[in-house]
Chains A and B, each alone.
Chain A
Amino acid sequence: MGEYTLKLRRYSPESGEAPYWQEFKVDLEGHRSVLEGILQVRDREDGTVGIRCSCRAAICGSCGVRINGRPGLACHTHLDKAAAAAKDGETIVVEPMGNMPVIKDLIVDMDAVHWNKIQRVTPWLLPDGEPPEREYIVPHEAMVDVTQSMACIQCGACVSDCLSMEVDPGFIGPAALAKAYRFVGDPRDGQQRERLEDLAEDPQGMYDCTHCFNCIDACPKGVAPMNQIMRLRRIAGAEHGIDDENNGHRHETAFVKNIERNGLLHEADLLPDSYGGKMHPRALPELVGSLPVIARALRRGKVTPAKALLHHKLPDQQAVRELFERVESKPERYELNLYIVGVDEDPPGASA
């Protein structure tokens, strides 16, 4: 048996006191879980410790917490590994998840945030027309693709550490957008365009993601919510040409054109082009608002007027432009999804 130290963040709303930290020793082997440690504390030392749990086997998604500052399932984290990852190499720090109000101790209000957002994306299938007489026949790959987001166990770990939601609580967020992709990517659903338009019209929709990858690292089930958000954007932009409230699609188009034209990013063009071009009414307030920033950049010599107007192009920019044409003119977009195809095994003798 080993001895581990758990430092729990305690909070009781009825006490009127601020949250506080409390340390406990638990007597368990290293391969037992942090959840088992917390339950031992509750059984032996303090029956008032609040933790939500059920299956204890990483299936139900109830015991989402932050361990040593990172989100995850308490039942899916070994005590020895958690202790090794602790800041002082010893004290396992457990707190409630972030971005959601705390009800008590380690229990957060999933209804107020997570479930509300899941509801927001119409999380059920909306097929067009009459159902087929027998079963739906769909391509195998399309279903494997959506099983990645179906693997979500609604634990809220990604919501907890979403950095967009931290500054913009109204953001639909990683879990709900992954759920949205589960239906957008399902060939049986008849509302793909409508779903994407709905997400594009919401200024806190799919273009509010800041691309920080936190949700990918947070997810205990490999859902990779950010990858699903990028798929939503790709389908909305490339297949439906949907313009959004956040100007995300226009920005993306401007960025791609910028590189096709220059090879290297020409920042001075990107901002106005993202709003439809220098002369576009939409661009004007943005440009005026950015004038102080532009003035400062000029003053500090970060950029010269000549450089702002005449951008340096690559010596063989023509080659880059031809590569763009070659790929963009293909009738179908080719997207390699490693979740579907997996990784080649190295042939014997091959060097990595």
Chain B
Amino acid sequence: MKVAYWPGCVSRGFTPELHGSMAKVAPLLDIELIELDRACCSGAGVISEHNQELADSLNARTFALAQQTDGEFMMNICSTCQGAQTECQERLDANAEYREHVNQNIAPEGLSYEKGIVNKNFLWVLVENIGLDELRSRVRRPLTDLRVGPFYGCYIVRPSDRLEISVDQPRDRYLHMVIEALGATVIDYAGVYKCCGFPIITMNKQASLKQAGTHLADATDAEADCLVVPCPLCHLNLDLQQPLAQKVVGRDLAMPVLHLPQLVGLALGLDPSELEMQRHVVKPTSVIDWTQAVVGASPA
């Protein structure tokens, strides 16, 4: 399967292990990544807060670049991009006159967006395009006994109608389903669908870190071994900021946070160092037996 691949900014910035692990995992799932290396930031909801037409134009440009490739559809590994881009796409697809107006902005580059691009987070691709049975059949190292807390964050589950979440398409259950397909145990805790706090880290640091710290503490109380996130921004607040978050909530936390491709990669048999797990601030020692580089608690 060939996809037009949008890695986002942070996966090539402060969470380079995300982009790296996706590149390692893709061939194991027969996904060919055509990287959109000319595309720019989705705006993360901030550019649209500044100027909606600008955000829509930047993303129309990205969509048009994706449509020029021979990828079956566009795939991202950042929920925030998913949410921000889907919001722009909703406006672009809803109104032909507006689409034409925005297309004029990108026309000097010889680009034009055609209504109806399919843009999916890796999580959705796993369930909808690869399929859980196929994924299960490719597992080389089942994550037996590993207790994983899903952390969806916001942009990939809300608003539910814009993201086309329904009983027939339960995208708000996909992390649960993937964790189980990889042989691990899903841990239910209060923070599963809550906000990591990242969007207000520069505006209200205390509240932001309290959000992150509370979810990490709830997952600790539910005896999760680690969390898994489909969004690098959630990773920044939950992992990079964890030492500060634990001060705000007043308790010791040592909760490893894995990017989705890392969790998948572990189960597909990749080595933790290939997945660059040493780059995490909170060392994933509960997930990995570093001496043997196999998944903790799983039979050898």
Which residues of A approach B to under 8 Å, CB–CB?
84, 163-164, 166-168, 171, 203-204, 207-214, 216-217, 224, 230, 233-234, 237-238, 246-248, 251-253, 255-256, 259, 263-267, 271, 274-275, 286, 292-293, 296-297, 300-303, 307, 312, 314-316, 319-320, 322-324, 326-328, 330, 333-336, 338, 341-344, 351-352
Is B296 in contact with chain A by the CB < 8 A criterion? no
User: DSSP majority for the B interface?
Assistant: helix
Candidates B49, B57, B204; contact of A233 at CB < 8 Å: B49
Are A296 and B57 in contact, CB atoms less than 8 angstroms apart?
no
Q: Which residues of B contact A338 (CB under 8 A)?
A: 90-91, 94-95
**Given A208-B200, A338-B95, 17 other A-B contacts at CB below 8 A?**
A167-B210, A210-B200, A211-B199, A211-B200, A252-B50, A259-B40, A263-B41, A265-B10, A265-B41, A274-B202, A302-B17, A316-B38, A323-B106, A326-B57, A328-B51, A334-B101, A336-B94
Provide the bound-state CA to CA distance between A233 and B200, in Å: 14
**From residue B65, how far is it (CB to closest CB) to chain A in Å?**
10
Q: Which of A230, A264, A327 contacts B53 (CB 8 A)?
A: A327
Residue of chain A at shortest CB distance from B109 = A319
Q: Which chain A residues lie closer than 8 Å to B210 at the CB level?
A: 167-168
- Report the separation of the CA atoms of residues A338 and B195 in the bound assembly, to the nearest whole angstrom: 26
Q: Are B9 and A265 in contact (CB under 8 A)?
A: yes
Q: Are B53 and A213 closer than 8 Å at their CB atoms?
A: no
| Assembled-state Cα–Cα distance A210/B204 (Å) | 9
In the bound assembly, the distance between CA atoms of A333 and B51 in angstroms comes to: 7
User: Using Cβ atoms and an 8 Å threshold, which residues of chain A touch B211?
Assistant: 163, 166-167, 210
Please measure, in the bound complex, the distance between the C-alpha atom of A351 and the C-alpha atom of B118, giving whole angstroms.
13
The answer to whether B45 touches A211 (Cβ under 8 A) is: yes
Verify B13–A315 contact, CB threshold 8 A. Answer: no
Q: How many residues on the B side are at the interface (Cβ–Cβ under 8 A)? A: 71
Which residues of chain B are near A336, meaning CB under 8 Å?
A: 52-53, 56, 91, 94-95, 98
Contact A300 B279, beta carbon cutoff 8 Å: yes
The stretch that binds A, out of B21-29, B123-131, B240-248, is B240-248
Assess the B158–A217 pair: CB atoms within 8 A.
yes
CA distance A328 to B278 in the complex (A): 42
In the assembled complex, B48 has its CB within 8 A of some CB on chain A: yes
Give which listed residue, B16, B83, B108, B204, contacts A246 with CB less than 8 A. Answer: B204
CB distance from A323 to the nearest CB of B (A): 6
**With the chains together, A209 CA to B49 CA distance in Å?**
12
Give residues of chain B (68-114) contacting chain A, Cβ–Cβ below 8 Å: 83, 90-91, 94-96, 98, 101, 105-106, 108-109
The distance from the CB of B105 to the nearest CB of chain A, in whole angstroms, is 6
Nearest CB on B from A31, distance (A): 17
Q: Across the interface, do B9 and A264 meet the contact criterion of CB distance under 8 Å? A: yes
Q: How far is the CA of A315 from the CA of B241 in the complex (A)?
A: 32
A168 contacts which chain B residues (CB < 8 A)?
204, 206-207, 210
| A210 touching B41 in the complex, CB below 8 Å, given contacts A233-B49, A237-B50 | no
Please determine whether B13 and A303 come into contact, CB atoms closer than 8 angstroms. Answer: yes
Bound state CA distance, A330 and B158, in angstroms? 32
Chain B residues closer than 8 Å to A163, beta-carbon distance: 194-195, 211
Q: Name the residue of chain A whose CB is nearest to the CB of B43.
A: A259
* Contact call A212/B158, Cβ cutoff below 8 A: yes
Collect the chain B residues with CB atoms within 8 Å of residue A251's CB.
46, 202-203
Q: Are A234 and B10 also in contact (CB < 8 A) when A256-B46, A259-B40 are?
A: no
* Closest chain A residue to B163, Cβ basis: A213
Chain A residues closer than 8 Å to B2, beta-carbon distance = none
CA of A230 to CA of B14, assembled, Å: 27
B153 nearest in chain A by CB position: A212
Residue in A212, A316, A322, A333 whose beta carbon sits within 8 Å of that of B108 in the complex:
A322
State which of B58, B207, B279 has its C-beta within 8 Å of the C-beta of A164. Answer: B207
Smallest distance from the beta carbon of A44 to chain B beta carbons, Å?
A: 31
Measured CA separation A322–B14 after assembly (Å) = 27
